[in-house]
Amino acid sequence: MLSTENKKEIGIFCIVAGLLMLIPSLNAWGPDTGAASVSSFQVSLWGKYLTYAILAMSLNLLWGYTGLLCLCQSLFFALGGYAMGMYLMLQIGTRGAYKSELPDFMVFLGYQELPMHWKPFYSFFFASGAVLWVPGLVALIFGFLAFRSRIKGVYFSILTQALTYAVCLLFFRNDFTFGGNNGFTDFKDILGFTLNDASTTRWLFVASAILLLLTYLITSGILASKFGKVQQAIRDSENRVLFSGYSTTSYKLVIFTVSAMIAGAAGALYVPQVGGINPSAMEAAKSLEVVVWVAVGGRGTKWGPVIGAILVNLLKSYTTQAFPDYWLIIMGSLFVVVVLFMPDGIVGVYKQLKSRIAQKRSLETSAA
Amino acid sequence: MNTLFSSFFSRSFCYCLTYLLCGLFCSVTLHGQERTAREVLADLVLSSDDEQEALIEELSNYGDPVIATLYEAWRTGGVYTLKKGEELLLLHFTDQQEWTSLATGEVIALTEEEASNVEKERASRAVRKALKGIIDTLGLKADDPLERIDSAIKMGQSQKPEFVEPLKARLEVEADAKVKGAIREALAISLLKNGEPSEVLGAVNELTEIKSIPARGFLDKILEAEVTAGEGEGELARATRKALVTIEEHIKRLEFFGSFFRGFSTGSVLLIVSFGLAITFGLMGIINMAHGEFVAIGGYVTFLVQTFFINTWGLSSEAFGWYFVISLPVSFLVAAFIGLLMEKSIIRFLYRRPLESLLCTWGISMVMQQGFRLIFGAANVQVNNPTWLMGNLSYAGFNMSYTRLLIMGIALVVVVLTWLLLRKTSLGLHIRAVMQNRGMASSLGIPVARVNSMTFALGCGLAAIGGCILSQIGNVGPSMGQQYIVDSFMVVVIGSVGNLLGAGLSAMGIGLVDQLLQPSLGPVMGKITVFFVIILFLQWRPGGLFPTRSRSLDD
C-alpha cells in the first residue's frame, strides 16, 4: 500500500499536472479578455519557463542529489537546442532571405553545399535522437576523464566552467558551420506545422509540460531505487561509499550523462518556443544562472528547482522592465541573501521556520 | 616666444615644421658650419656659373630640410629679387603668402609698389639637376639618427643607381653604429641591382651576414633572373639561395622569440591576477567569482588617479608620468579595503560552504559590474600610457615594448613580496597555519577571523594590481576582469591549489603555450587547445603540479 508520504507526493504531482494543462486550455477555449485569458505569447513565455525548470531539475539531479556542482548544464541545454535548431533550419528550405536550399548563414558565408554532418538533420527523428545523444556523449567523455582522475568538488565546477567556455568560443566561430555569432533564427515550421500558429505554440507547451512531469518521474524513480540511494550517499560522503566497494566513478558518470540528456531535451523544446539560438546561450554565466535557480528554489528538493526557475525568471523579466538600470543589482543581492539566509531555498523556508519555532518553544518550556 | 621655439631648433624636423607653419624665424641651425644652408643657397641663387660648382659642393654637406623647401620654391618660381636702392634683396614667397628673406627666413613687409617690382629668379637646368641629387639625399644628413635610418632604408629600397654614391660617401663619415648598419643594408640592397657582378655577389653575402629581412623580395628577383638566364647553379644563385634560407631562419627565430616574449608577458598578467585567486581560493577555500571585478576595480582606480593627475597637473606635465606608479599602491589599498568589507559582511559566513561561496560571490560580481556601469558608464574608459612607457627596447632586430617589460618586472616583484609575506612575517605564519588546520590554529590562539580578513583583503589587492597593469595593455571596462577569470581558475587548479610556486609556474606555462600556439592556430583555437591540454594534463597529474600531501581523507 502507499504511504502517506507517497500519497502526498502523488497529490502534488496531479495538482501540478492540472495547473500546467490549465494554461493551454485557457488559451484554446478561454475568454479573449479578462483575468482568465491567456494569450499565445504568454503560452510560449511559460513554455520557455518550463524548459528552464526542466534544466534546473537536471542540475538538481547532479548538484542536489549527487553533490556535483556542474557548471556546464547550459552547454548541454544549448547542444540539444542546436541539434533541434539544425532540423528547424533545414525545414526553412528555400523560404530564407537568399531563396536557397542552404540555410541563410551558409549562403552568406559562401558555402556551396550542405556540410556532411548537416545532412541527417533533414530527418526529425535523427534530430530528436541527436538532442539526446550529443549532450550525452559529451558528458560521457568529459565525465569519464574528469571522474577517472578523481576531480571533485570545486575543481569539478571549475573544469566544467572551462569546458563551457571553450565550447562557447568554438561556437562563436563562423567556420564551425553552426552560424557563428548569430546562431540559428527565422524558423518557419516544425513537422509541417507553422511555428507561429497558436495551436503549435500550445502543443509545444504541452510537450514541455509532459517532459517536465516525465523528468519529475525519472528523478523520483532514480531516487527511490538502490542506485539513487548510492547516489545520495556519494553526495554525503564519497569516500565511505568508495570504501564500501562501490565504483563511485561509474555512478557519477551515469548520473552526469542522464542529466546532460535531460538538459539537451529541454534545450530542444526551448529553441522552437523562443525562435532561435546563438552561442550566448552556452556562456558560463548562463550555467551559473541555472545554479542560482536551483539554490533559490531549494537544492535537493523535488519541486524546488521548478519553483526557483520560474520565480527567478518572473522576477528577472519584471525587474528588467521596471528597473533596467538596477535589475542586475537586485538579482545579485537576491542571490547573496538566498545563499546567506536560506541555505535550503524557498522550499526550505517552511522547514527553517518550523524548526526555529520548535526551538523557541522548547526553550520556553525548559525555562518554565 | 622666440626662446621657446629656439629650444626646438636643435631637432631639424621640428624646425622644418616651425618654418612651414610660421616662416617667421631666422634659420639658426646647429651644424657647426660657419654659414647656414639658407645663406649658401642664397649665394647659389645669385652666383655666376663658375662659382656654382663650389657652392653646390658646399651645400651638399648640409642636411637641413629647408633646402628642399627653398629648392622647390626656386624651381617653381617662388624666389624673387628686388632692387631696393643699392641693395639687392633676395626674397622667397612662402606658401603662407608672405615675403621672407631667403638668406635669413625673416618676414619682410613689402609695399605694393615694391611687390610689383620683384623679378623672378630661375634655376638653370644644370643647377637643378645638381641640386636634385642633394635634395634626395638630404635625409641622410639629418640631425635625427632615426630620420637618417629612415631615409637610408628608403634609398636602398628604391634601388636607384644615383643613390649608390651618396650612400657610400655617408657610410664613411657616419658615426652612429645603428645608422651605419642601416646604410650598409641599404647600400647592399641597392647594389643588388646597380652593382658590377662581383659587387652583386658581395652585396648578397653582406645581406646574408646582416640577415636583412627587407632584402628578401630583391633576392628573390635575383634568383629568378639567374634561373631564367640558365645560371640556376651558378655562384650567385647559390649565394642568393643561401642568403634566403638564412634570412628565413632568422625570421622564424624572431617570431619564436616574439611568441616567447609575449607568452611571458601574458603569463605575467595571468600570474598577478591568479596569485590573488590562489590566495583566496587556495589558502581560504573561497571561490571568489567576484575576483574579476576586483581586477576591474584596479583598472578604474588607475583611471581615477589618472584623471586626478590630469586635473591637477595637466596631461603634458612632468608629474603626469608618475600617475601609473602612484596608482599601483592606491589600487591595491582601495581593493584591499573593499575586499575587507566584503569579507566582514558576507564571506565569513561561507567558510564551511565552498560551493555556495561561488554562488554568493557571483551575485556580488553582478552587483559590482552593474555598479561600475552606473558610475563609469557601460563603455570603456580611456587610460593613457605615460610617455616613459611608450616605445620599445630593441635587441638584435627584436623589439620588446617597455610596457610588457615593466609588467614582467612587476610580476616578479609581486611574487617576491608575496613569498616574503607568507614565509617571513607573522601574518604569513598565521595564514599558513589557518590554511592547514583552521580548528587547531584557532585553539592555539591564532586570531582566525582576523587572519581570514587580512588574507582575503590581500587576495583582492593583488587582483587590483593586475587590473592596474591591464589598464596599460588592454581596455578598462565593467567586464574587463571576466576574460581572465576562467584562465586564472585554470592556473590555480593546474598549479595545485594553495601552492603559490605552482600558480606561478602554471601561469607562465599557460601564457607560453597560449602564445606559442596562437601563430599557427589563431587566438580562439589556441585557447581551446590549451583547455584540452589542461584536461589531459589533469589526467596525468590530478593534483596539479605540486599536489598537497595530506593524511586527511577529504583533501
Q: Report pLDDT digits (tens) over A125-135.
A: 999 999 999 99
* Residue B506 belongs to a domain: no
| Confidence at B17, pLDDT banded by 50, 70, 90 | very low
* Residue B463 belongs to a domain: yes
**CB–CB of A239 and B554 under 8 A?**
yes
User: Cα(first)–Cα(last) distance of chain B, in Å?
Assistant: 74
* Residue B500 belongs to a domain: no
pLDDT, residue B63, reads: 67
Whole-number CA gyration radius for chain B:
33
Q: Which of B362, B365, B531 sits opposite A162 (nearest CB)?
A: B531
Residue with cell 652583386: B200
Compute the nearest-CA separation of B532 from chain A (Å): 8
pLDDT, residue A232, reads: 93
CB B342 within 8 A of CB B463: no
Torsion A329-A330-A336-A339 (CA) sign: negative
CA distance A248 to A254: 10
| Closest by CA position to B514, among listed B506, B523, B502, B505 | B523
Compute the average pLDDT of residues B213-240. 77
Going by C-beta distance under 8 Å and a sequence separation of 6 or more, which residues neighbour residue B249?
none
Q: Which of A167-171, A315-319, B53-57, B432-436 has the lowest mean pLDDT?
A: B53-57
Most confident of A52-56, B65-69, B304-308, B436-440: A52-56
Same domain, B358 and B408: yes
| Contact A141/B at CB under 8 A | no
CA distance B409 to B413: 6
Express as a percent the part of chain A with pLDDT over 70: 99
pLDDT, residue A364, reads: 81
Express as a percent the part of chain A with pLDDT over 90: 41
Going by C-beta distance under 8 Å and a sequence separation of 6 or more, which residues neighbour residue B187?
B156, B164, B167, B168, B171, B203
Torsion A194-A197-A199-A200 (CA) sign: positive
Same domain, B265 and B228: no
C-alpha cell at B98: 608672405
| Closest by CA position to B433, among listed B451, B410, B415 | B451
Q: SS3 for A216?
A: helix
Q: What strands, in cross-sheet order, belong to the sheet with B79-84?
A: B99-101, B87-93, B79-84, B119-120
| Confidence at A367, pLDDT banded by 50, 70, 90 | low
| Contact A240/B at CB under 8 A | no
Question: What is the CB neighbour count within 10 angstroms for residue A90?
Answer: 19
pLDDT at B175 over 90: no
Domain boundary among B478, B497, B518: B478
Same domain, B362 and B448: yes
Going by C-beta distance under 8 Å and a sequence separation of 6 or more, which residues neighbour residue B270?
B484, B487, B488, B491, B507, B510, B511
pLDDT digits (tens, 9 = 90+) for A191-245: 888 888 888 989 999 999 999 999 999 999 999 999 999 999 999 988 899 999 9
pLDDT, residue B158, reads: 76
pLDDT, residue B8, reads: 41
Compute the average pLDDT of residues A79-105. 87
Q: Which of A169, A332, A340 sits opposite B349 (nearest CB)?
A: A340
Q: Which DSSP symbol is given to B124?
A: -
Please state the pTM of the whole predicted model.
0.76
Strand-strand pairing, A184-185 and A276-277? antiparallel
pLDDT, residue A105, reads: 85
pLDDT digits (tens, 9 = 90+) for B104-113: 777 777 777 7
pLDDT digits (tens, 9 = 90+) for B396-420: 667 778 888 888 999 999 889 988 9
Question: What domain range includes position B404?
Answer: 260-478
Q: How many residue pairs from chains A and B have C-beta atoms closer than 8 A?
A: 115
CA distance A257 to A57: 14
| Confidence at B551, pLDDT banded by 50, 70, 90 | low
Same domain, B336 and B361: yes
Same domain, B70 and B187: no
Compute the average pLDDT of residues B243-269. 85
Secondary structure (DSSP) of A134-177? HHHHHHHHHHHHHHHTT--HHHHHHHHHHHHHHHHHHHH-GGGS
* Residue B72 belongs to a domain: yes
| Confidence at B348, pLDDT banded by 50, 70, 90 | confident
Same domain, B323 and B407: yes
Same domain, B199 and B269: no
* Residue B190 belongs to a domain: yes
| Confidence at B48, pLDDT banded by 50, 70, 90 | confident
> What is the CB-side half-sphere exposure of residue B276 using CA atoms within 13 A?
34
pLDDT, residue B285, reads: 78
Residue bearing the bigger pLDDT, A317 or B42: A317
> In A34-62, which positions are buried (b, 16+ CB within 10 angstroms) versus exposed (e)?
eeeebebeebbbbbbbbbbbbbbbbbbbb
- Among chain B residues, the shortest Cα distance to A151 is held by B542
CB B441 within 8 A of CB B432: no
Domain residue spans of chain A: 4-367
Q: Which of A115-119, B193-197, B422-426, B466-470 has the lowest mean pLDDT?
A: B193-197
Q: Which DSSP symbol is given to B395?
A: E
pLDDT, residue B180, reads: 78
Split into its structural domains, chain B has a count of 3
Residues of A in contact with B353 (CB under 8 A): 343
pLDDT digits (tens, 9 = 90+) for B363-390: 999 999 999 999 998 888 888 888 777 7
pLDDT, residue B23, reads: 40
Q: What are phi and psi of B401, to 5 degrees?
A: -75, 145
| Contact A153/B at CB under 8 A | yes
> Strands (DSSP E) along chain A, which ranges?
184-185, 189-190, 193-194, 276-277
Same domain, B278 and B416: yes
**CB–CB of A155 and B370 under 8 A?**
no
Q: What are phi and psi of A278, to 5 degrees?
A: -140, 170
C-alpha cell at B265: 608577458
Same domain, B331 and B190: no
Same domain, B175 and B108: no
pLDDT, residue B34, reads: 63
H helix count then E strand count, chain B: 23, 6
Same domain, B38 and B123: yes
pLDDT, residue A318, reads: 92
Averaged confidence pLDDT in chain B: 79
Q: Which of A165, A170, A339 sits opposite B486 (nearest CB)?
A: A165
> Strands (DSSP E) along B249-291, which ranges?
none
pLDDT, residue A179, reads: 84
Same domain, B38 and B172: no
Compute the average pLDDT of residues B418-443. 87
